[in-house]
Chains A and B, each alone.
Chain A
């Protein structure tokens, strides 16, 4: 089955620690995205990558970092600089970046709680 796998499903961290969220896809998609979802708000774009070894900041990139060393993988690191990291994080992909009519395929998210 093709899809996007996010792990872990739940993550708990102490304030001040960096944490990395995993996102792996076997859809052979070029473009991958990280979104943050908070209650009562629409999804907000953190980072995106249209090809391997290239990525761009989204609307709320501060306190986050990413890498795209392999087509299948797009890990997100939440650093201690992120002021309010507790949220539901969603990874998504599309076959080709820039295709306006391509539906996003989402993973099932990682719920991060920082105390």
Chain B
């Protein structure tokens, strides 16, 4: 069973609209939760890292939230741009496994004009 589940698998939105991507995890206890952005054919780039004591973190138009009680995180993108088209990957650092990183399969976002 996947320990990090992301939804939806893919999403299409119009430029300028907002969207929210979801991440549910079963990894426990964990050190931190990360969101990465991966453009097609490129390596992932870090957007945010949150420890279990943080419940929100922003990076420009990207805002990540974390509810450690329900083991859920979301990534909210405001006023989307064409350049936001990418795969967004949720990653949980598992404290009991030496901080091993467990990767979700990602949500593919396409922003169209």
Question: How distant is the Cα of A105 from the Cα of B104 in the complex, in angstroms?
Answer: 17
Within 8 A of A (CB), among B86-113: 89, 93, 95, 98-106
The answer to whether B105 touches A100 (Cβ under 8 A) is no
The answer to whether A42 touches B32 (Cβ under 8 A) is no
Q: How many A-B residue pairs have CB under 8 A?
A: 52
Question: How distant is the Cα of A42 from the Cα of B100 in the complex, in angstroms?
Answer: 13
Question: How distant is the Cα of A107 from the Cα of B9 in the complex, in angstroms?
Answer: 24
Q: Does B76 contact A (CB under 8 A)?
A: no
Chain B: residues with Cβ within 8 Å of the partner, total of 26
Interface residues of A (CB under 8 A from B): 4, 6, 40-45, 90, 92, 98, 100-101, 103-109, 111
Residues of A within 8 A of B95 (CB): 100
Q: Apart from A42-B103, A43-B101, A45-B100, list 14 A-B contacts with CB within 8 A.
A: A40-B9, A40-B105, A43-B44, A90-B43, A90-B44, A92-B43, A98-B98, A100-B32, A100-B99, A101-B49, A103-B46, A104-B44, A104-B101, A107-B43
